[in-house]
Amino acid sequence: MRTQVVIIGSGPSGLLLGQLLHGIGVETVILERASRDHVLGRVRAGVLEQGTVELLEEAGVAARLHAEGLPHSGISLAFDGRLHRIDLAALTDGRHVTVYGQTEVTHDLMDKRDAAGLTTVYEAANVTPHDFDSGAPFATYDKDGVSHRIDCDFIAGCDGYHGVSRKSVPASALKIFERQYPFGWLGVLAEVPPADHELVYANHERGFALCSMRSTHRSRYYVQCPEGDRVEAWSDDRFWDELRRRLPEQTAASVVTGSSFEKSIAPLRSFVAEPMRFGRLFLVGDAAHIVPPTGAKGLNLAASDVRYLFAGLRDFYAEKSHAGIDAYSQKALARVWKAVRFSWWMTTMLHRFPDTGEFGQRIQEAELDYLVHSRAASTALAENYVGLPY
């Protein structure tokens, strides 16, 4: 079998790239290790930059997002017992973010791919990219005990942090940058109206908390928890009590509790693998980089990688130009590192670290106080939060 671009992974990166390429007549096959239901069952973040929304529009998958997504023109920082609003729109010439779950983005992209009759092989085992340093790469995989080979022009490694693409590159060709944070996020989804109409990021001496949402009737909340904590140790009651203790009184009083239907703990890390291109293999999204969720950048960074790679492949197929694919890694990484810095900074400013102590807590409060009272500092946060230019 032959196709133009083999895409490994049917997360948002792989599906979005596939849809954009389909729009210019480039054929793709997606190889996905998990089942469709498994991919759709993963709960991830849900804040889209305007540039991400525009790319989804270009791919023709923004109708439901526009109908059901919630445009937000501000966020609040909670500290010192009260909320301090950052007016994102006023500080960024009217830009905003859209609250729409990644699961829904994935769903819309899968439906679109199905409707176009494009091939996705789910439950593909032992997916392996081959000969990507030559002009004739190919991928192999097993399905129902039968081995398959697909020859192609390019391979896009959209297979996430644990994928095979990055692991297929010789270690000597990769430079890894990594930072682990000594805590996790315990997240809860509940069918209850959100405590506030916008997101609230709280710095508290008991630890960080975040009030987010998926819709006007579904809330997503997080509390910072110790590294190694187990989800079984957190009953719903314990979670709601801890969340409310970390919020200003008025916000805590607005928390509507209910039984959770998803509860999980995620570790926090920053990770970057350089470069993002090896001959005819490209790393895209979580396969190349991970950010802690504090800045809501993971999905948006995946979309910006896709945007650069799509532009490069479009020029290759339309004009036989290699310039765009040659520049992919450098362009993508320039934007990645700015988001890595922003996510690290938000994480550092808002969480309680083992060595934060009373001094560190006062420094954080001073930084937050400066941030919300200085237009220059608020603008720096706002322009990063809504998304830096491409």
What residues act catalytically?
72, 201, 293, 297, 385
Per-residue binding letters, 365-384, with ligand APR (x by CB under 6 A): --------------------
CA distance 67 to 84: 29
* Residue 207 binding target from ligand APR, ligand PHB, none, CB below 5 to 8 Å by type: none
Taking alpha carbons only, the member of 235, 176, 238, 185 closest to residue 209 is: 185
CA distance 173 to 129: 16
Site residues (CB under 6 A) for ligand PHB, limited to 15-34: none
Determine which residue in the list 302, 346, 349, 350 makes contact with ligand APR, applying CB under 6 A: 302
Determine which residue in the list 55, 127, 273, 350 makes contact with ligand APR, applying CB under 6 A: 127
* 8 Å CB contact between 46 and 214: yes
Site residues (CB under 6 A) for ligand APR, limited to 43-102: 44-45, 102
* Residue 127 binding target from ligand PHB, ligand APR, none, CB below 5 to 8 Å by type: ligand APR
Q: How many residues bind ligand APR (CB under 6 A)?
A: 28
Residues with Cβ within 8 Å of 93's Cβ and at least 6 positions away in sequence, in order, are none
Q: Is 312 in the site for ligand PHB (CB under 6 A)?
A: no
Comparing CB distances to ligand PHB, the nearer of 109 and 291 is 291
3-state SS, 125-170, equals: EEEEEECCCCCCCEEEEEECCEEEEEECCEEEECCCCCCCCHHHCC
CA distance 213 to 231: 20
Burial class of residue 235 (count of CB atoms within 10 Å of its CB; 0-12, 13-18, 19+): exposed
Dmax (CA) of the chain:
63
- C-beta of 360: minimal distance to ligand APR in Å? 27
Q: Is 45 in the site for ligand PHB (CB under 6 A)?
A: yes
* Residue 47 binding target from ligand APR, ligand PHB, none, CB below 5 to 8 Å by type: ligand PHB
* 8 Å CB contact between 275 and 289: no
Residue nearest to ligand PHB as judged by C-beta position: 212
Comparing CB distances to ligand APR, the nearer of 27 and 142 is 142
Encoding tokens for residue 195? 């405590």
Q: How many residues bind ligand PHB (CB under 6 A)?
A: 9
Site residues (CB under 6 A) for ligand PHB, limited to 203-262: 212, 220
Per-residue binding letters, 132-171, with ligand APR (x by CB under 6 A): --------------------------xxx-xxx-------
Per-residue binding letters, 267-306, with ligand PHB (x by CB under 6 A): --------------------------xx-x----------
Query: What is the dihedral sign for C-alpha 234, 266, 216, 191?
Result: negative
CA angle 297-302-303, nearest 5°? 100
Termini Cα distance of the chain: 36
* Residue 298 binding target from ligand PHB, ligand APR, none, CB below 5 to 8 Å by type: ligand APR
**Residue 41 DSSP class:** T
CA distance 151 to 167: 20
- The residue ranges that bind ligand APR (CB under 6 A) are 8-14, 31-34, 39, 44-45, 102, 124, 127, 158-160, 162-164, 285-286, 298-299, 302
